[in-house]
């Protein structure tokens, strides 16, 4: 049996505040979504000026990461390289979703939508970094 971490409301608030700060520092109007390990929503925040559609896309990116344990960019690249059959999976293949990892397990995810894909991912990673070292996908502590 494995022991795992669970995101608390305080953790979620830290992630959201750091992600919002990164977006505002760059003048980006985005929606920030955070979910638990099961892909269930814990937070949704649409900054002023973010398009209404971002409130649908951001949670979908987070859900994709929580369910797969991988950044949503993995699936975007898969589709872009011609593996269109991936579109039949229950995923949103758009960069901007990042899993939150602890001890090699996915404990949640952040999805961001509203600016360029790499910028969305930058905001998501900035949010996760607020938890401290080792929670980002692929970090040295996760290896």
Q: What is the mean pLDDT of each run of 10 residues along the chain (143 residues)?
A: 93 98 98 98 98 98 97 95 92 96 95 98 98 87 48
How far apart are the C-alpha atoms of 94 and 64, rounded to whole Å? 9
* Architecture of domain 9-142 in this structure: 2-Layer Sandwich (3.30)
What's the CA gap between 44 and 14, in Å, rounded?
A: 13
What is the predicted pLDDT for the residue at 143? Answer: 43
Closest-CA residue to 4 (of 108, 95, 131): 108
Q: Say whether pTM exceeds 0.85.
A: yes
pLDDT (0 to 100) of residue 83: 95
């Amino acid at each position: 049996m494995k022991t795992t971490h669970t995101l608390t409301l305080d953790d979620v608030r830290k992630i959201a505040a750091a992600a919002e700060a990164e977006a505002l520092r760059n003048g980006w109007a985005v929606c920030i979504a955070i979910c638990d390990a099961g892909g269930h929503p814990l937070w949704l925040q649409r900054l002023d000026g973010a398009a209404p559609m971002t409130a649908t896309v951001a949670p979908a990116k987070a859900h994709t990461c929580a369910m797969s344990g991988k950044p949503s960019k993995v699936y975007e690249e898969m589709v872009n390289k011609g593996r269109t059959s991936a579109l039949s999976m229950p995923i949103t293949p758009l960069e901007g979703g990042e899993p939150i990892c602890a001890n090699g397990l996915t404990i949640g995810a952040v999805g961001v939508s509203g600016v360029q894909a790499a910028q969305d991912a930058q905001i998501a990673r900035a949010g996760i970094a607020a938890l401290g070292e080792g929670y980002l996908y692929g970090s040295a502590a996760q290896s």
